[in-house]
């Protein structure tokens, strides 16, 4: 990977590049998030404008970009962790000091709207980031050890790392459900650079200088939230179709990982299978129901890192 493994005593900077809204946040949950990171031996610090609430529940774009750039300029900071997702991460893209980020490779970690930054950083610099928990996510109690341990494995780059499914899952404070085995939708094997994240966020990069190039083989991880409710399957399908129509996307996609959908999305397994069937992706490995996205717990994937998919008798995902 382009980033260095973290070790005991390293500093992780928490910033809010997308959204911050303290109302409704559980202070005990946030304290647990900090303590859990500290239990791994990391020092946790916070950005200057983390709690600013100037613009749609977050700080000015200039202030969020300042926190972002300072985290990359600070030699003591070894990783950058998003406080949460949201809607506004793409506002800071033109304000990022890209030469600074390129010359100070350190991973940013998060999911949902942080998909913007993960893929833009890879597109602009080639540096690896981690599609994984936001800071708030680490304070939840749904199989939290699974989330924390997988994050730590990636931060320390204990590779190769083979992922396994969780035992129980849920959505924040909802009931727990037994995790079903990951589903093989198309058999095969592939090894390539991983792109993707939240599909509704990823496709916002289309037509910009921040969109990764698809001119080389890649594997993509895609998941969606439940904001579209009963129309989530339709939205997922047409957003995926829009990606497939981008130059070289269909030609070079070598594997697909589909994250677990929230109960509120009403997405059925039969709908996922019909979507994949209509896309005519050919003989590439496809696995669905994977522990990533807007449910808990979650894996940590390296965006810009190399991943191997084995979708044969028993699905396997390995970071190499």
Q: Which DSSP letter does residue 12 get?
A: E
Q: Same structural domain for residues 111 and 170?
A: no
Instruction: Work out the pLDDT band at 2, boundaries 50, 70, 90.
Output: confident
Domain count across the chain: 2
Q: Same structural domain for residues 236 and 298?
A: yes
112 belongs to the catalytic site: yes
Q: Which DSSP letter does residue 262 get?
A: P
Which runs of E-coded beta strand occur in 161-305?
Answer: 161-163, 168-169, 177-178, 183-186, 188-198, 218-223, 253-259, 286-290, 301-303
User: Per the domain annotation, does 3 fall within a domain?
Assistant: no
- What's the domain range around 77? 11-159
Write down the mean pLDDT value for the chain. 96
Question: Is residue 184 predicted with pLDDT exceeding 90?
Answer: yes
186 belongs to the catalytic site: no
Instruction: Work out the pLDDT band at 300, boundaries 50, 70, 90.
Output: very high
Give me the catalytic one of 91, 223, 228, 288: 223
Instruction: Work out the pLDDT band at 23, boundaries 50, 70, 90.
Output: low
The share of the chain scoring above pLDDT 90, in percent, equals 92
Q: Same structural domain for residues 172 and 296?
A: yes
Helix, strand and coil in the chain, % to nearest 5: 35, 25, 40
User: Per the domain annotation, does 6 fall within a domain?
Assistant: no
Q: Same structural domain for residues 193 and 307?
A: yes
Instruction: Work out the pLDDT band at 135, boundaries 50, 70, 90.
Output: very high
**Angle at the Cα of 296 (from 109 to 72), degrees rounded to 5?**
10
* Average pLDDT value for residue range 237-242: 98
* Average pLDDT value for residue range 192-201: 98
Question: Is residue 80 predicted with pLDDT exceeding 80?
Answer: yes
CA nearest 236: which of 210, 217, 258?
A: 258
140 belongs to the catalytic site: no
Q: Which DSSP letter does residue 260 get?
A: P
CA distance 137 to 83: 9
CA distance 181 to 183: 6
230's CB contacts (< 8 A; 6+ apart) are 266
- Report pLDDT for 22: 60
Question: Is residue 16 predicted with pLDDT exceeding 90?
Answer: yes
Q: Same structural domain for residues 205 and 86?
A: no
Q: Same structural domain for residues 247 and 153?
A: no
CA distance 223 to 295: 10
Instruction: Work out the pLDDT band at 21, boundaries 50, 70, 90.
Output: confident
CATH code, 225: 3.50.30.60
CA distance 221 to 57: 28
Question: Is residue 173 predicted with pLDDT exceeding 80?
Answer: no
Q: Same structural domain for residues 237 and 91?
A: no
Question: Is residue 175 predicted with pLDDT exceeding 90?
Answer: no
| C-alpha torsion 289→203→213→95, nearest 10 | -120
How many CB atoms lie under 10 A from the CB of residue 92?
24
User: Per the domain annotation, does 19 fall within a domain?
Assistant: yes
Question: Considering the entire predicted model, what is its pTM?
Answer: 0.96
User: Per the domain annotation, does 213 fall within a domain?
Assistant: yes
Q: Same structural domain for residues 72 and 138?
A: yes
Q: Same structural domain for residues 151 and 135?
A: yes
CA nearest 91: which of 116, 126, 125?
A: 116
Question: Is residue 26 predicted with pLDDT exceeding 90?
Answer: no
User: Per the domain annotation, does 37 fall within a domain?
Assistant: yes
User: In which region does residue 244 sit, left (phi positive, over 0), alpha (psi from -120 to 50) or beta (all else)?
Assistant: alpha
Q: Same structural domain for residues 128 and 226?
A: no
Instruction: Work out the pLDDT band at 57, boundaries 50, 70, 90.
Output: confident
231's CB contacts (< 8 A; 6+ apart) are none
Residue owning tokens 């913007």: 116
Q: Same structural domain for residues 106 and 155?
A: yes
CA nearest 199: which of 101, 267, 251?
A: 267
- Report pLDDT for 25: 65
Give me the catalytic one of 66, 88, 91, 112: 112
User: Per the domain annotation, does 252 fall within a domain?
Assistant: yes
* pLDDT tens digit sequence for 211-223: 999 999 999 999 9
- Report pLDDT for 226: 95
Q: Same structural domain for residues 249 and 115?
A: no
């Amino acid at each position: 990977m382009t980033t260095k493994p973290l070790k005991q005593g390293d500093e992780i900077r928490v910033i809010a590049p997308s959204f911050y809204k303290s109302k409704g946040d559980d202070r005990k949950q946030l304290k647990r998030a900090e303590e859990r990171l500290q239990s791994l031996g990391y020092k946790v610090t916070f950005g200057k404008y983390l709690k600013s609430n100037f613009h749609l529940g977050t700080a000015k774009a200039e202030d969020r970009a300042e926190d972002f750039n300072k985290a990359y300029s600070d030699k003591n900071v070894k990783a950058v962790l998003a406080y949460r997702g949201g809607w506004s991460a793409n506002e800071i893209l033109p304000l990022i000091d890209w030469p600074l980020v390129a010359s100070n490779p350190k991973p940013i970690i998060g999911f949902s709207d942080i998909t913007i930054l993960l893929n833009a950083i890879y597109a602009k610099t080639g540096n690896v980031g981690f599609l994984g928990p936001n800071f708030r996510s680490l304070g939840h109690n749904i199989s939290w050890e699974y989330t924390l341990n997988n994050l730590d494995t990636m931060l320390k780059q204990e590779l190769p790392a083979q992922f396994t499914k969780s035992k129980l899952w849920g959505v924040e404070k909802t009931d727990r459900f037994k995790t079903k085995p990951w589903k093989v939708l198309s058999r095969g094997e592939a090894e390539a650079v991983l792109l993707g994240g939240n599909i509704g966020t990823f496709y916002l990069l289309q037509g910009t200088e921040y969109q990764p190039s698809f001119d080389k083989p890649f594997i993509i991880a895609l998941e969606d939230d439940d904001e579209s409710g009963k129309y989530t399957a339709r939205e997922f399908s047409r957003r995926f179709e829009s990606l497939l129509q981008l130059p070289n996307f269909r030609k070079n996609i070598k594997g697909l990982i589909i994250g677990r959908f929230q109960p509120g999305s009403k997405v059925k397994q039969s709908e996922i299978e019909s979507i994949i069937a209509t896309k005519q992706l050919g003989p590439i490995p496809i696995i669905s129901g994977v522990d990533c996205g807007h449910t808990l717990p979650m894996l940590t994937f390296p965006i810009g890192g190399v991943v191997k998919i084995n979708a044969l008798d028993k699905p396997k995902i390995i970071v190499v």
